[in-house]
Amino acid sequence: MAQAALKDTSVKEFEKKQEWWWAAEKKRSKRLDYLRKAIWKKGAIGGLYAPGVKVDLERAQLHTQKAKEMEMSPDAYVIKFAKMFAHILDNKTIFITDHAQLVGYTGSLPHTMGWDPSAASILNEEAFNDPTAIPDPVDVNQKVIREINNYWIGKTDLDKMMPVFDMEDLMKMLSGSIGWGVPLARGGYSSKDYEYIMTGKRAFAAIIDELDRKIDEVDEEVHQPGANAEISKAYDKLNNWDAMKITLEAGIRIAKRYARLARIIAENFEEDPKRKEELLKIAQTCERVPAHPPRNLQESFQYDIFIQMMSRTEAIEGAWPSRPDYYHGPYYDKDVNIDKTLTREEALDLVGEFIIRAAEVCQFKPKWTREGLQGIDGTWVWTIGGVDRNGKDACNDLTVALMQAARLVRVANPTLSFRWHPKVKDEVMREIFECNRQGLGYPNMRNDPILVANTMHWYGHPIEEARLWANQACLSPCPTTKHGFQPMRMANATANCAKIIEYVFTSGFDPVVNMQVGAETPDVATFKNFEEFFAAWTLQMQTIFSILVRAVNRARTLAPTMTPRPFLSGVSERSIESGLDTLDPSIERGNSWITAFTWVENVDSLAAVKKLVFEDKKYTLAQLKEALAKNWEGLEEMRLDFVKNAPKWGNDDDYVDDIMLRCLDEAAKFSKVLKDPSGNNWPILPENVSGNIHYANIVGALPNGRRLGDALYDGGISPGPGLDKKGPTAVLKSCGKIDHITGGRAFLLNQRLSPTQLAGEKGYQLWSSYIRTWADLGIDHIQFNMVDDATLRSAQKDPEKYQEVIVRVAGYSAHFVDVSRKTQDNIIQRTVQGLG
């Protein structure tokens, strides 16, 4: 919008027109406005990065330089790896943006994406082959990339691990038909032991002292007269502790580099006295953390940012599990309410900047990840609200400030996820509603009592720990505790579940990748009844899940030695105590799950087969098999019969809802047969991110009437777009039939609501009543799009004018203009539910 028009239009006028993004721009402080506009948009658009965003060669060069230097070193691998990490932190370019109060970024410059060349050669080749992301001059830098890539061939994590995987499973998984991602411990994402490092009791210096004590004690023990198995293991522990220490010391040094830069700017360049004061505050902050525990809100945020930056130097992280109001809230309270060293407005600026610092984070990722996460770099879902370990309401002033700041900065990532429970105050609920009404698509709602019970049911986390859960990526809760926290999640335990039903018709042969992937079940035309058909479905489900889980389990077993994480171990109590890498399954309780993409297609397809084939006998399985093989071509009447005349999920129809329950029951039973290396279960979690679009050309025609290429359903348990004909309560009733504690890990439900209907106090009351029904039905999740069709269609026609419109895609939000046309259409097609 032209500046003059922006100036002449009041906030109220923008709000009346529901142009929340312009209203926010007028309402936020000059600092927040500058910092918000300073963000380089890093989420890929249609799989490609935006112009100007470049791969960070500096980090890759530093990493490679140190690796080469240490090739002949006798150090253990974990020590070498820690030294590479330290070399990067000691030598990377750092920067401080004008007006910023918080510092630290994953790349070397604001427009760069951190590139870790040690993860996988397939990723490195993508860097080489993507000239739009290579810094200028492209021809020169392509040669630099070639040299880096040549060095790492055969040495990256994935290159080293591939030969020790089961090759048949690996090929099926990497075919891209049933899974998503690769089994790498440094290529998924990690939670943190926040109860150890984020409660103000200790920080890096104290941990280093503890490590020194451990090293001295064990070093002395192993040199006493005697020899046994424990002593043999102790050498590995000593190496791990040494490596942790190297990374933590490097973490303190880079913070001091930031402190020094802030002082240099203040003393040599800055003329504005207020800004000089801010720079000196940055210097004091970075001299304090991460070496010592934070004392105020700025230090607490800075400490968190440093830990995230270091974790993202050690590994490629595709999510951001955290609980910011719970761990930073006490500092907000101290500064704003007790000491009054910050006004609410000043605090809101800091909170907004904390969100912005996360929004700009990006690491170079492979194209399949970019396509599956359109418009964002990863799912930075921050958990807020909920209860404390004693079950008391944990909402605080920062819970509210985070939502207020989110409305001002309006970023699509991070998003907020609210742990609802019966004791949440009305003022907090109103903030949640306002964020959603203003079109952010977040916070989503999580049913805390249900999810605490679910976390205990599936993994046996004790109740006091289960109550401390944070979302791992989009939806999966996990405690932030010593033995509960999850040190890594490998995204390849993500199943493209529509293949389950597809393989029933192809006897497990995948026509897209032209190989036998699923089980060789009998020719579908020979099945005499629905029970035989369902038995084949169950076997295909078990086969696909097993292939994916076996690969993760193998990678996880190898991870502590082949892909260790000394920094993450250095901030994990269990590793400090035991000397084991934090990835070691023996010291984690286990919190694995299978993300079930494209799940509901199975339910609608099974219902269609049961009804039209076995009950109405309108078609034979042989006819249906042929129709699907021909992608329904020339058979439109038959296809529409399967679309219109078979029951569909989401209409409170027991016929099809019972099939959903039966499918989930089979999956839940098998979830307990599958075990992770910690000995715990593998429940399923139906959701999609953008997988419903990514897989559109990979999944063939299905009995629900879908054709090859059509977008798949968008949610985990959302009805198909436009197929929920009976209104919002019927959707909730269908979803409420699922046992959200024992039926699976979590279930993603997308709903679209009308922003016009939800205006004003009446709108809030309607929404509150809807949420009460949702909670009473025991549904674990719900999220909303509240942007009307007119705005979305206008944004399609004139994207430049609607750059800031945000939509809820699946487990995350994105700017509408940053997702593909197919995804845009899919969002518009979702039924707008009228409440009341």
Partner 1 sequence: MTTCKECKSFFPLENDQTKGDCVQRVKDPRQAYYQSRPAKADDDAGACGSFQKKQKT
**Sign of torsion over alpha carbons 358, 598, 183, 455:** positive
Shorter beta-carbon distance to partner 1: residue 281 or 457: 281
Closest-CA residue to 108 (of 184, 40, 8, 171): 40
Instruction: Give the pairing of strands 750-753 and 509-510.
Output: unpaired
To partner 1, the closest distance from the beta carbon of 53 in angstroms equals 11
To partner 1, the closest distance from the beta carbon of 586 in angstroms equals 40
Shorter beta-carbon distance to partner 1: residue 265 or 362: 265
By CB under 8 A, tell whether 281 contacts partner 1. Answer: no
Instruction: Note whether 483 and 589 are within 8 A (CB).
Output: yes
By CB under 8 A, tell whether 111 contacts partner 1. Answer: yes
Segment (H or E) for 273: helix 273-288
Stretch that binds partner 1, among 92-100, 142-150, 502-510, 572-580 (CB under 8 A): 92-100
Instruction: Note whether 455 and 478 are within 8 A (CB).
Output: yes
By CB under 8 A, tell whether 341 contacts partner 1. Answer: no
Q: How far apart are CA 603 and CA 691, in angstroms?
A: 18
Beta-ladder partners of 322: 382
By CB under 8 A, tell whether 614 contacts partner 1. Answer: no
Instruction: Give the pairing of strands 509-510 and 515-516.
Output: antiparallel
To partner 1, the closest distance from the beta carbon of 95 in angstroms equals 4
Q: How far apart are CA 628 and CA 642, in angstroms?
A: 12
Question: What residues have CB less than 8 Å from 567, skipping those under 6 apart?
Answer: 82, 85, 244, 247, 248, 251, 310, 311, 313, 314
**Which residue's structure tokens are 């679009």?**
693
By CB under 8 A, tell whether 160 contacts partner 1. Answer: no
**Which residue's structure tokens are 């990748």?**
513
Among 264, 512, 708, 832, binds partner 1 (CB under 8 A): 264
Site string for partner 1, 17-36 (x = CB under 8 A): -----------------x--
What the block records as the tokens of 495 is: 């199943």
Q: Map residue 69 onto helix, strand or coil.
A: helix
Shorter beta-carbon distance to partner 1: residue 261 or 548: 261
Among 69, 98, 166, 221, binds partner 1 (CB under 8 A): 98
How many residues bind partner 1 (CB under 8 A)? The answer is 25
Q: How far apart are CA 782 and CA 732, in angstroms?
A: 10
Shorter beta-carbon distance to partner 1: residue 261 or 549: 261
By CB under 8 A, tell whether 457 contacts partner 1. Answer: no
To partner 1, the closest distance from the beta carbon of 84 in angstroms equals 16
By CB under 8 A, tell whether 95 contacts partner 1. Answer: yes
What the block records as the tokens of 249 is: 């010391």
Stretch that binds partner 1, among 164-172, 218-226, 253-261, 753-761 (CB under 8 A): 253-261
Stretch that binds partner 1, among 258-266, 336-344, 391-399, 772-780 (CB under 8 A): 258-266
To partner 1, the closest distance from the beta carbon of 144 in angstroms equals 17
Q: How far apart are CA 495 and CA 308, in angstroms?
A: 28
CB atoms within 10 A of CB 340: 9
Shorter beta-carbon distance to partner 1: residue 358 or 468: 358
Among 26, 260, 292, 295, binds partner 1 (CB under 8 A): 260
By CB under 8 A, tell whether 113 contacts partner 1. Answer: no
By CB under 8 A, tell whether 96 contacts partner 1. Answer: yes
Q: What is the 3-state secondary structure (H, E, C) of 578-644?
A: HCCCCCCHHHCCCCCCEEEECCHHHHHHHHHHHHHHHHCCCCCHHHHHHHHHCCCCCCHHHHHHHHH
By CB under 8 A, tell whether 91 contacts partner 1. Answer: yes
By CB under 8 A, tell whether 659 contacts partner 1. Answer: no
Among 15, 27, 29, 39, binds partner 1 (CB under 8 A): 39
Closest-CA residue to 787 (of 6, 5, 21, 33): 21
Stretch that binds partner 1, among 96-104, 203-211, 467-475, 627-635 (CB under 8 A): 96-104
Shorter beta-carbon distance to partner 1: residue 265 or 394: 265
By CB under 8 A, tell whether 50 contacts partner 1. Answer: no
Binding site for partner 1 (CB under 8 A): 34, 37-40, 52, 90-98, 109-111, 257, 260-261, 264-265, 268-269
